[in-house]
Amino acid sequence: MTSITAKNGWHRFLRALTTLLVCIVACGSGSVARAADSYTFGVVPQYDQRKLFAIWKPIIDEVAKRSGLTLNMVATLTVPEFERELAKGSFDIVYANPYHILRETSRQGYVPLVRDKEPLRGILIVRKDNPAKTAAELNGQVLAIPSFNAVGASLLIRADLEHLFHAKMTPLNVKTHSSVYLNVATGLTAAGGGVEKTFHEQDQKLQDQLRILYTTREMPSHPVAAHPRIPASDRSKIQRAFLELAATETGRVLLADVPMTEVIPTTIKDYLPMRAWGLDAYWVE
């Protein structure tokens, strides 16, 4: 009897050890147990966390309901953190700036699904009472930016300042688009880089204190994109859910806060022309 009990105890020990080793190997390889239809949805932090979740959580919940998939919103505190996670492929689904997605084509290969039909344009903002008539007059001054690698608000603005206006400004990372506009309005910086869409999302009193000194060329708007590990069938469900949501009155109200005024399908081909713009020279790792 003692021999049988000892043998059973030994077998239980081996099973427990095997389970532990499987767990260690899985964790070490970065594998995470997850239902096949449950995905993380990362959103670039253009706004503070509270506003970001207020805008995106209802949208993601609606898309989840319509697609039949489980989508869990995740967000980082800063854009550099977001970029590091994006480069590691941490997000299954993501809303990111066009250049983020373009740079990842050779690494993670995120697949664009939908975007706003309205193009993205960067803007150079100054206080309304700033006497500058052209961007050239801002040479040597401080430029507030939401992040170093924001495509419209930083990369393209800084490239155009240097190449079109022969002006070089010192960029100051103030973390969000809203902070850019506040910094300029309060006189903490001479100018700021933003995009038309986020500017028009600001309180009218704040907008009234500012003026747009320069507007960049157009580019396709931020896409919602999926990691290629997501099955094509599920990518189609998410794309279809966004398009269906955008066709409803409730959806239009929710998406207007992003802002996305008219959601359309998109592919990486829409973003490839931006490779010739020389923006890599301004990218900060």
The CATH code that applies to domain 120-217 is 3.40.190.10
Question: Under a CB-based contact definition with an 8 Å cutoff, are residues 100 and 225 in contact?
Answer: no
pLDDT recorded at residue 48: 87
Averages of pLDDT over runs of 10 residues in the chain (285 residues) are 45 41 32 64 92 96 98 93 95 96 92 97 97 97 96 96 96 94 98 95 96 97 97 98 97 95 97 94 90
DSSP label at residue 154: I
CA dihedral 14, 17, 21, 23 (to 10 degrees): 120
What residues contact 112, with CB distance under 8 A and at least 6 apart? 101, 223, 224, 225, 266, 267, 268, 270, 271
Q: What SS3 state is found at 186?
A: coil
**Cβ(194)–Cβ(153) below 8 Å:** yes
Count Cβ neighbours within 10 Å for each residue of 117-144 and write b for 16 or more, e otherwise.
ebebbbbbbbbeebebeebebbeeebbb
- The per-residue pLDDT for 35 is 54
Show the tokens assigned to 280: 């890599």
pLDDT computed for residue 36 by the predictor: 63
Provide the CATH number for the domain formed by 38-118+225-282 in this structure: 3.40.190.10
Where exactly does CATH 3.40.190.10 map onto the chain? 38-118+225-282, 120-217
Rounded Cα distance between 199 and 271, Å, is 23
Give the pLDDT confidence score for residue 29 in this predicted structure.
31
Q: Report the C-alpha gap between 167 and 172 in whole angstroms.
A: 16
Type of residue numbered 260: M
